[in-house]
Structure 1
């Protein structure tokens, strides 16, 4: 590949470019971001060499879109109108159903691939990007059959170079699974942080008394609300479903505790310990 463009140069977009730089050392890496500071930081950090121009999109081999999910559909539609016939456009967003529906009838739909790398940290911006973020992580691809075969092969080669594990899903199944294993985790983290902050009038106590358990559980509460609010909005139906089941389990926990049913409490927690076996060998 000769030209790779990142649209959105934060943690995910920046890390994707840095990762690909390891394998396409002769390629030119260009960038675009609505935040001029991010664009300058990405340039200073050698993530990109310069800002992408309109003409660059017509000749690019790969365009990676890593922007909030609410703005992605229209921007990708615009990009598909703009790119050349040999350009592949991929996105990295955490929701897929509305995006795929929006682009379904686009004349260049076969030049788009809906992807979601299951990787990230609680940090944001180009300064948070690093090249090994995606190593051995899962890459979900939705509706791969709708992407041109030659462009499919180009994308898969990139992901295999990055040592990613490929999974294929339809967009609705993707959104449902993400509601449980990703979106609910972020909600839990945000709301635990809110609960403690609301309760602790003396903020110093949080820092003095908080242990590693609290710190690890609220880690995701440091994530960017500008990223996560659109995700919750787009995936509202499945997020509400996951929340309902989660609240049901919390209520049951409250009930058995109120009734001093510690035997049941132990059983519930012990049964949940199976998560250790499920996650065994998975690099998080």
Structure 2
């Protein structure tokens, strides 16, 4: 592997660039971002070796790391233009629509649908760091539709970055991510909104905010440019997750309204079992 091209030089694209350059010092990494500032920052930070809109004809891998609603057009354009030895990998948080769109493309075998389960609440190339991907899960969808020879290039990259591969159906991926990722972000944003509204009446409210509030609302610092498209691209699954969440909020509200301490305690104790599940997952 000699050349990688990255389209979208924010947190994910930038971290891939930094990590790949660390593992493959001789690797040429070109890149493009619609933001001139991001493009210049990526050059200064050493994420890319050269800024250019179009990859070289002998590029091994093209990584697409742009917002979810832009990936379809970019993927189609990229597939139309690449040579037969180039693999295109997207890093988007939703997979069903993208896989369906690429399904009938004449170069479908040169596309790999991926989603690294890695990120922070910060965005842009200055937020990128090489260790972001170390030990993280990379979900891959519809592996059987990608050329075997080209998949080897992807495996070489992911193995070098110490990523753990998991294989999923695109629809299954989107259903699960709606609950364990997308819902969390919606919840955090709306908690932030609720407290900001309270702040209009009480300017001192943040003086009483402890670590619990900070950790719960942390995701509300995430990029709206990234998350607004995700919420519309995975709309049906997120609506299902929200319906369940709203129902549970209404249920606990009713118990609080009734001052039913015993049932509230039992409810919280039952939910506490999630600790065992999360601890098992970390192990």
Would you say same fold, with TM above 0.5? yes
What's 1:190 paired with? 189
What's 1:219 paired with? 218
Superposition map of 1:204-243 within 5 A: 204-243=203-242
CA-CA distance at 1:120 after TM superposition: 0.3
Q: Structure 1 segments of 4 or more deviating over 2 A?
A: none
What's 1:148 paired with? 147
What CA distance in whole angstroms lies between the structure 2 residues aligned with 1:251 and 1:20? 47
What CA distance in whole angstroms lies between the structure 2 residues aligned with 1:30 and 1:281? 40
2:171 is paired with a residue whose SS is helix
2:63 is paired with a residue whose SS is strand
The farther-off stretch of 5-14 and 15-24 is: 15-24
Superposition map of 1:247-262 within 5 A: 247-262=246-261
2:132 is paired with a residue whose SS is coil
What CA distance in whole angstroms lies between the structure 2 residues aligned with 1:203 and 1:3? 55
| Cα displacement string for residues 9-39 of structure 1 (whole angstroms, at most 9, x for unaligned residues) | 0000000111112221111011101001100
What CA distance in whole angstroms lies between the structure 2 residues aligned with 1:208 and 1:170? 46
What's 2:172 paired with? 173
| Cα displacement string for residues 74-93 of structure 1 (whole angstroms, at most 9, x for unaligned residues) | 11111111111111110111
| Cα displacement string for residues 157-208 of structure 1 (whole angstroms, at most 9, x for unaligned residues) | 2112211111111111111001000000000000000001011225742431
Could you tell me the TM-score, scaled by structure 2's length? 0.96
1:70 is paired with a residue whose SS is helix
The farther-off stretch of 21-30 and 39-48 is: 21-30
What's 2:52 paired with? 52
What's 1:273 paired with? 272
Tell me how many residue pairs correspond in the alignment: 283
Taking a change above 3 Å as real, the CA distance of residues 203 and 118 of structure 1, as seen in their structure-2 partners, is farther
Taking a change above 3 Å as real, the CA distance of residues 80 and 199 of structure 1, as seen in their structure-2 partners, is same
What's 1:34 paired with? 34
What's 1:119 paired with? 118
CA-CA distance at 1:251 after TM superposition: 0.7
| Cα displacement string for residues 194-224 of structure 1 (whole angstroms, at most 9, x for unaligned residues) | 0010112257424311111111111000111
User: How much is the aligned-residue C-alpha RMSD, in angstroms?
Assistant: 1.5
1:31 is paired with a residue whose SS is strand
- 8 Å CA contact 1:197–1:203 kept in 2: the answer is no
What CA distance in whole angstroms lies between the structure 2 residues aligned with 1:281 and 1:86? 41
Q: Which runs of 5+ in 2 are unaligned?
A: none
What CA distance in whole angstroms lies between the structure 2 residues aligned with 1:239 and 1:167? 22
1:280 is paired with a residue whose SS is helix
What CA distance in whole angstroms lies between the structure 2 residues aligned with 1:267 and 1:168? 37
